[in-house]
Structure 1
């Protein structure tokens, strides 16, 4: 099999902080797929990768950046939570004429916060920078995440370099592009870390030594955690105004991330004059366990993003 990767030469030193897209593979469904694009590199870390799925279209299409969950400790760009079939999520977005960009990011045992947000923003800048080659409209990009990914999607929508300084923007990958998004879907993400800092984890069967996700994300000495929690919390930035439209979806019976976390973010966004919709899912635990509404929840997210990215 012939490689499609560009040839490297002795002049490729130091290594580039990202790589241009390799050619797409077009399926029988007409969807163009770019697999394993390197959107950021840093010495000592694995390359950060993303996949792009672009539906058949006459011209550039809006894009949705999908950010996986996993407690900031695990997860994979290729797999939604087990309650959401890949075919359902991908098919709904592509069927709506939206490109799907699924990304990996550094886990918290690789690097603590804000490395995860730096990676998300680097991925958005990469997509915007290479939008022409990818068939994406650089001006119409949204973010959608679940659990830890919902937290990062919210931060991607709220943290702006011109308002909050460069510290949370990062310098990974493409540096000269904007990392803003036009709309955010946040499924059961943490919004106020200080409110749950120090709370015990729910039982994790078979994982007696599972690291505490919050403490691992924040890193640093225990005395510094309250300030680190403030910096890593979306509510810290929601009060500043200027947020894109948000859709928050959260199970009422969530035993991992309390439903009150989405209530807190919705209230902060509303008080700052933002547009926010909060959808409770009755009887649902984390990742919507126990709910039969998953197809409708996915459809709601797609309709929300399509409405804000194509208007």
Structure 2
């Protein structure tokens, strides 16, 4: 079970973190603000675990609705380093940056930045002593959405790209999302959560009503950028946690972070034969009630 939860209000958007150690105990990055692209927000922090052998890596994507947030104080940092796992935490272009640059849909910028950052990290595997085959993506809220999208998307490596970074894989060994959104389909989201009002900003639309009105036109983008639409049998083991109880079709106290969002994703993953742990308030039979143990089992070599 999550030991602590921080919710910071920043510009009206909840930024979730599920840190397990006091922030004052977190070490400084081994390398800070390493650029992986030309934009000022395309930077990451790297925390190196001491090891003679290449280490697993937690690849952390912060939340904030793709509107704000920061890479500082990635979750599970102290536990990861103590367990011999290195950590990367990224910043990325936000929705306002995408709109200013004319990127369509706007959500393309933060999601594809996550992919590029992961490719960059893999390109540093030798220098940073990382095992590029043992990488977990994780994040909360929109960071969880981005992590799931990255995990379920087909590999974005381009074998013939002149840039060696873009020849690196974007696949991960496992993925974890804390209260993540799982679809950008406004009709589906309203069926699950009648009072949902989240998602129109991903397409730079002024209102949810406009989002619904333009749904058919936006459908190709909705499918391309929704984790639920991308589920397939080759997807990695998944862990999703919600601090509420599913009640499909019922109004929710916190619609963008409702456990209802995890119900259909869990069903789709199970149907596809993908390992999935759907942990929520009152759930039973969870293999890893301690979330960090999920990463240990998935990333650390099994003891003989």
Scaled by the length of structure 2, the TM-score of the pair is 0.72
Whether the 8 Å contact between 1:124 and 1:179 is mirrored in structure 2 is yes
Tell me which of 196, 207, 218 is aligned to 2:203: 218
| Structure 2 residue 298 is matched with structure 1 residue 305 | no
Cα separation, partners in 2 of 1:65 and 1:269, compared to 1, 3 Å: same
Determine helix, strand or coil for the equivalent of 1:110.
helix
Aligned counterpart, 2:48: 54
Cα separation, partners in 2 of 1:131 and 1:281, compared to 1, 3 Å: same
Q: How many residues align?
A: 244
Determine helix, strand or coil for the equivalent of 1:40.
coil
Aligned counterpart, 1:120: 114
Tell me which of 32, 41, 45 is aligned to 1:35: 32
Cα separation, partners in 2 of 1:36 and 1:275, compared to 1, 3 Å: same
| Cα separation, 2, equivalents of 1:100 and 1:185 | 14
Whether the 8 Å contact between 1:119 and 1:172 is mirrored in structure 2 is no
Determine helix, strand or coil for the equivalent of 2:166.
coil
Aligned counterpart, 2:178: 187
| Structure 2 residue 87 is matched with structure 1 residue 100 | yes
Query: Map of 1:248-263 to 2, 5 A cutoff?
Result: 248-252=240-244, 255=254, 256-263=256-263
Deviation, 1:102, is: 0.4
Tell me which of 132, 149, 152 is aligned to 1:138: 132
Deviates more, 1:191-200 or 1:45-54: 191-200
| Cα separation, 1, equivalents of 2:88 and 2:190 | 32
Whether the 8 Å contact between 1:158 and 1:237 is mirrored in structure 2 is yes
Deviation, 1:226, is: 4.1
Aligned counterpart, 1:19: none
Mark the runs of 5 or more structure 2 residues left unpaired by the alignment.
Answer: 1-25, 99-105, 246-252
Aligned counterpart, 1:70: 64
Deviation, 1:140, is: 1.1
Deviation, 1:49, is: 0.6
1:58-93 Cα shifts (integer Å, max 9, x gaps): 12110010111001111101145xxxxx6xx21111
Determine helix, strand or coil for the equivalent of 1:174.
helix
Aligned counterpart, 1:236: 229
Aligned counterpart, 2:144: 150
| Cα separation, 1, equivalents of 2:107 and 2:122 | 24
| Cα separation, 1, equivalents of 2:111 and 2:86 | 21
Deviation, 1:251, is: 1.4
Scaled by the length of structure 1, the TM-score of the pair is 0.70
Cα separation, partners in 2 of 1:161 and 1:138, compared to 1, 3 Å: closer
| Cα separation, 1, equivalents of 2:222 and 2:171 | 22
Whether the 8 Å contact between 2:49 and 2:84 is mirrored in structure 1 is yes
Cα separation, partners in 2 of 1:259 and 1:70, compared to 1, 3 Å: same
| Cα separation, 2, equivalents of 1:117 and 1:303 | 27
Cα separation, partners in 2 of 1:68 and 1:31, compared to 1, 3 Å: closer
| Structure 2 residue 232 is matched with structure 1 residue 247 | no
Cα separation, partners in 2 of 1:247 and 1:172, compared to 1, 3 Å: farther
